[in-house]
Structure 1
């Protein structure tokens, strides 16, 4: 039978070994605190001259999709977005678009696009919840590609800040074309209705 002293020594050794082995469980190269945390739905590309943050396509009612993304220019020169294209990963038809107005990103700055409808793509076969290959073309950096999700605008108002139509000069041209097509009588009656309200 063991005396009290060796028993205490053995108990202390077991407790020390258990404490050391259990405390090592949360450390190492795969610890959660060492992983990049991405709380948003959009996709991120954290390398290259132009980096993308929270890139996603928001569905509109008319088979168009507005690009919402943060564009970070890591160069010492201003950069310009010149175009965008999407290709559904499940084999649907690709679509392309040019910015509705000039999108210039100052050097070493983040520019968020989407609220002005800078890039609106037409595509009839995209499905919310699926991913597309999104390629943005820049004047200096060339093509930057990422797999980005397609999301529904939804009723909760989560994407209310994302424009549903093209902004800038393209939207003004489209409004002028619609006004010209409507004819002077219809435009005048709309103006009278607005004044009556």
Structure 2
């Protein structure tokens, strides 16, 4: 009886070990668990001195789009934004306006754009469902170029700033 229990326990342990070992064979060092996960719609760019996180345009009632995203300065000095350009899929540069004064990125701190009390950029002729290329220039870091989507304004983006002029009734 005792030998029977020992055999069953050994068989169960061997089966569990085999299943674990064989299950691990289906993965490798490039398994998805080892890759960054981007749950949101916005675009991320992490391989630069100034990282861009969750970047997108939110379409406005007047045909413009508000840029929303977070910039993270990974350098050891403050980075001043010196340029913000936007081009469409055909390479045409869009007109950009901004609110909120100059933008300085503190060392190793994230700065969110496009919300109240932050720097806000509006690009003309932005359509939801399309992608736009943004180029950010800084005084002490390499330019950053990223393609970002444009989305329809809805409740999810209620904190993203809209232009001051209201649509005609």
| TM-score normalised by length of structure 2 | 0.77
**How far apart, in 2, do the equivalents of 1:61 and 1:72 lie?**
29
* Between structures 1 and 2, the one with greater helix share: 1
Cα–Cα, structure 1 residues 80 and 99, in superposed 2: closer, same or farther, change >3 Å? Answer: farther
Larger CA Rg, structure 1 vs 2: 1
**Matching residue of 1:162:** 160
Per-residue CA deviation, residues 42-89 of structure 1 (Å, 9 max, x unaligned), is 111102211100010111011111111100011121112233222222
Q: Greater shift after overlay, 126-135 or 95-104?
A: 95-104
Does the CA-based 8 Å contact 1:75-1:108 persist in structure 2?
yes
Matched, 1:102 2:105: no
Gaps of 5+ in 1: 1-7, 167-173, 175-197
**Matching residue of 1:121:** 123
Root mean square deviation of aligned Cα: 2.6
Total equivalences in the alignment: 151
| TM-score normalised by length of structure 1 | 0.67
Gaps of 5+ in 2: 1-6
**How far apart, in 2, do the equivalents of 1:141 and 1:96 lie?**
24
- If asked which structure has higher relative contact order (CA below 8 Å, sep 6+), I would say 2
Secondary structure of the 2:148 match is: strand
